[in-house]
Amino acid sequence: MPKLFALLFPSILLVTYALPNQRPSHDANIYEFNVADIDGNMVNMARYRNLVCLIVNVASNCALVDVMYQQLQALYEQYAANGLRILAFPCNQFFNMEPGTDEEIKRHVTAKYNVTFDLFHKIDVNGNETIPLYRYLKEKQPGYLPNGQIEYNFVKFLVGRDGIPRERHPPTTPPMQLDASIYKMLGP
């Protein structure tokens, strides 16, 4: 048994320290994470440092999609120059409403909604396959369901310039209703 431990211990240490950016800490912020964009490129979230971010799980076949994408794009156009970034994460966990590939999703939302904000790889927001960024968001802004579960498509997390999630809004909240909060976070 001691020999087995001696053989496994270095491997455990390597795994533990090889992925420090993927484990939230007490004072973590979104800048500690890496995520794949819709084109498959790894994105270090530190690229959003000192920006206000609206992070949303999206689905192309959801009844809310038209209003949500139109208003998300409108907010982006209104505030991008002042430091707002919108990060959309397609998710197929709610009634199979985002069944397409990343390429199909990108083609659809850019053609239909003229989306110019950042799109990311399709992810899971609940369960064992939840990406670390979403585990962190749910930990910091848990909402009303057990374990911070995301209740549906278009849950919105508003993240301050410091990378800390400050607000969580339910699927039914239209993005334009976040205008005052975004304006305040962007500051002068």
Q: Are the CB atoms for 186 and 79 separated by under 8 Å?
A: yes
Catalytic residue among 30, 62, 87, 133: 62
The Cα 178–Cα 170 span in angstroms is 11
The Cα 128–Cα 142 span in angstroms is 17
91 is catalytic: no
Residue 30 has a CB neighbour count (10 Å cut-off) of 25
Tokens at residue 22, please?
């993927």
Tokens 């491997």 locate to 11
The Cα 131–Cα 36 span in angstroms is 10
Q: Are the CB atoms for 138 and 149 separated by under 8 Å?
A: yes
Q: Is 120 helix (H, G, I), strand (E, B) or coil?
A: strand
The Cα 140–Cα 142 span in angstroms is 6
Active site residues: 62
